[in-house]
């Protein structure tokens, strides 16, 4: 049994103690020979739709050369080359977010990392509009999610009084936020202060777990030089890094869909660090740190890699696999799905690769114990969603709102019958999304027919 538990959050005993595998180890840098080629997906990372190409095979590129643009919420957003070199081909490869094969640019890396300035540098003297423009032109996206453009959280949003910097990192195994917050505290404070200015907020709450003593020690003195910035220590429970729970915990406010409804913007700690770094130069980020760990690997470490390098190359660098029946996760064990192969590229939003032994556990009959519902932080009834999915009862599924699932995996984690309840919820969520799209299209056609008939 877990040490502590309460509705919607729990201390993950055992699995959470995996952070020591990398937290205090030297951060490695992937040697050049493991990143001779990098790969940039030519699709929107959220929707999977093709980007509008601005470059072609044969083009010479630098770090920051515009390869294409994608549209998010009606705004054009840049996709840049993460290395300098030459585009040598278009290849089909697995996309770790979409979990299907998509077209990628294959770029030969010349290792010069020549940079193009993609935006004018900004500082705390810059206006809110100038900082938001820089976030946009830098192509800054959230870390650890689906690559949502950061500037969209700020543009046209009014009434924000608090920015929450999420350094909670509650997924087991992951320690990149921990490392970056200790080693890059100056950029964290600068980025957080720029976010405060961009949003016109009066305060920034930099949040991390209270057991991260070294983070506290690294930040506690320096923060006094940054007006409006505060450190907030939160409990070591999962999923404290989920933004709704974090906002509720640190501001005592709730919201329905977006934190802005509670006058809050939430950004990951490493997003703030990247903004701090890039704001000084106008150059994009071409490399990032990943926690590469798990029992299936010869060596566990945090590794700085060029964006776009292959997962297989990073694993080769760490000595390869030590088990035959492993599962490779792009992320931590609670929220991520297993990759079909390791020939996929690191995306700007990736934060970890975890290799675990494939667990074959005999699934028992559902006991109707209600543990999955008791622990769901989104207040869903996972077991009821599972039953509705098995009966293909779409109306019941819609009523149970699987679309509110945050994919935290707690329902599967607590199930005494070892049922992968989360998988059923995911499938139900997809079915409901498809049904909603179908019903919206039918409604549109109906309205069009009615309007036509009224002419
Ligand atoms: S994965 Fe979804 S359904 Fe399961 S506990 Fe988390 S939010 Fe609830
Ligand atoms: S936790 Fe497992 S056994 Fe208990 S109700 Fe949920 S699905 Fe059934």
- The per-residue pLDDT for range 58-73, each reduced to its tens digit, is 999 999 999 999 998 8
* 440 plus 316 within the same structural domain: no
The H or E element spanning position 40 is strand 37-41
Residue 94 domain-assigned (yes or no): no
pLDDT band at 3 (very low <50, low <70, confident <90, very high): very low
pLDDT of residue 86: 98
Q: Please report the pLDDT score of residue 12 as a whole number.
A: 74
Give tens-digit pLDDT for 147-181: 889 999 999 999 999 999 999 999 999 999 999 99
Distance 422 CA to ligand 2 centre (A): 11
Least confident segment among 223-227, 335-339, 399-403: 335-339
Mean pLDDT computed over 357-384: 91
Neighbours of 251 (CB within 10 A): 19
Expressed in angstroms and rounded, the spacing between residue 379 Cα and the centre of ligand 2 is 15
Q: Is the pLDDT of residue 432 over 50?
A: yes
| Count of the separate structural domains present in the chain | 2
Both 354 and 307 in a single domain?
A: yes
Mean pLDDT of the chain: 92
Ligand 1 close to Cβ of residue 411 (< 6 A): yes
Q: Same domain, yes or no, for 164 and 307?
A: yes
pLDDT of residue 2: 40
- Which positions ≥6 away from 378 have C-beta within 8 Å? 8, 404, 405, 406, 408
Query: Looking at the domain assignment, is residue 412 inside a domain?
Result: yes
Q: How far apart are the first and last CA of the chain?
A: 67
Residues 291 and 402 in one domain: no
Same domain, residue pair 17 and 133: yes
**Among candidate residues 387, 319, 386, 395, the one with its CA nearest the CA of residue 355:** 319
Q: In terms of domains, do 291 and 400 share one? A: no
Give the residues surrounding ligand 2 with Cβ less than 6 Å away: 366-372, 383, 414-417, 419, 421
**CA-382 nearest atom, ligand 1:** 3
Residue 1: is its pLDDT beyond 50? no
Distance 53 CA to ligand 2 centre (A): 48
In sequence order, the 6+-apart residues with CB closer than 8 A to the CB of 270 are 143, 144, 176, 177, 180, 288, 289, 351
Q: Say whether both 349 and 411 belong to one domain.
A: no
* Whether residue 371 has its Cβ less than 6 Å from ligand 1: no
- 405 Cα–ligand 1 center, Å: 5
Average pLDDT over residues 389-399: 96
Q: Ligand 2: which residue has its CA nearest to atom 4?
A: 369
Q: Are residues 293 and 344 in the same domain?
A: yes
- Kindly state whether residues 351 and 388 are assigned to the same domain: no
Residue 386 CA to ligand 2 center (angstroms) comes to 10
pLDDT for 293 beyond 90? yes
> The tokens of 303 are what?
């590794």
CATH number at residue 140: 3.40.50.11540
Question: 230-273: per-residue pLDDT in tens?
Answer: 999 999 999 999 999 999 999 999 999 899 999 999 999 999 99
**pLDDT cut 90: percent of the chain above it:** 82
* CA-atom Rg of the chain in angstroms: 22
Which ligand is closest to the CA of 416, given by its number?
2
Question: Is 436 found in the same domain as 391?
Answer: yes
Question: What is the residue range of 320's domain?
Answer: 9-32+117-360
pLDDT, residue 16, reads: 60
pLDDT at residue 361, as a whole number: 77
């Amino acid at each position: 049994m877990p040490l502590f538990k309460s509705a919607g959050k729990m201390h993950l005993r055992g699995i959470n103690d995996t952070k020591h595998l990398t937290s205090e180890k030297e951060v490695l840098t992937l040697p050049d020979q493991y990143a001779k080629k990098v790969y940039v997906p030519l699709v929107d990372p959220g929707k999977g739709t093709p980007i509008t190409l601005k470059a072609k095979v044969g083009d010479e590129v630098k770090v920051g050369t515009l390869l294409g643009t994608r549209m998010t919420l009606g705004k054009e957003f840049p996709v840049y080359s993460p290395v300098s070199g030459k585009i040598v081909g278009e290849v089909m490869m697995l996309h770790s977010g979409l979990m299907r094969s998509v077209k990628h640019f294959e770029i030969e890396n010349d290792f010069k990392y020549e940079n193009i300035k993609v935006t004018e540098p900004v500082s705390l003297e810059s206006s809110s509009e100038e900082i938001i423009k820089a976030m946009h032109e830098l192509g800054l996206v959230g870390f650890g999610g689906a690559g949502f453009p950061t500037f969209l959280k700020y543009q046209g949003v009014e009434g924000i009084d608090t920015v929450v910097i999420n350094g909670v990192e509650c997924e087991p195994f992951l320690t990149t936020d921990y490392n970056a917050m200790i080693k890059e505290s100056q950029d964290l404070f600068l980025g957080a202060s720029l976010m405060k200015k961009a949003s016109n907020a009066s305060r920034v709450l930099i949040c991390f777990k209270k057991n991260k003593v070294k983070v506290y020690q690294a930040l506690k003195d320096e923060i006094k030089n940054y007006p409006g910035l505060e450190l907030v220590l939160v409990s070591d429970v999962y999923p404290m890094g989920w933004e709704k729970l974090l906002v509720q915990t640190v501001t005592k406010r709730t919201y329905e869909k977006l934190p802005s409804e509670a006058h809050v913007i939430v950004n990951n700690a490493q997003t703030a660090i990247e903004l701090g770094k890039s704001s000084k130069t106008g150059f994009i980020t071409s490399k990032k740190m990943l926690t590469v760990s798990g029992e299936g690997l010869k060596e566990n470490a945090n590794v700085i890699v060029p964006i776009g390098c292959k997962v297989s190359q990073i694993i080769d660098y760490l000595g390869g696999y030590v088990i035959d029946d492993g599962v490779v996760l792009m992320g931590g064990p609670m929220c991520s799905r297993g990759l079909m192969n390791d020939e996929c590229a690191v995306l700007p939003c990736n934060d970890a690769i975890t290799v675990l032994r494939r667990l074959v556990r005999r699934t028992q009959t559902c006991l109707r114990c209600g543990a999955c519902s008791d622990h769901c932080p989104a207040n869903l009834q996972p077991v009821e969603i599972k039953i509705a999915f098995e009966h293909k009862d779409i109306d019941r599924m819609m009523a149970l709102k699987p679309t509110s699932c945050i994919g935290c995996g707690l329902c599967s984690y607590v199930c005494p019958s070892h049922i992968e309840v989360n998988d059923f919820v995911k499938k139900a969520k997809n079915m409901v999304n498809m049904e909603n799209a179908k019903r919206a299209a039918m409604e549109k056609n109906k309205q069009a027919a009615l309007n036509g008939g009224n002419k």
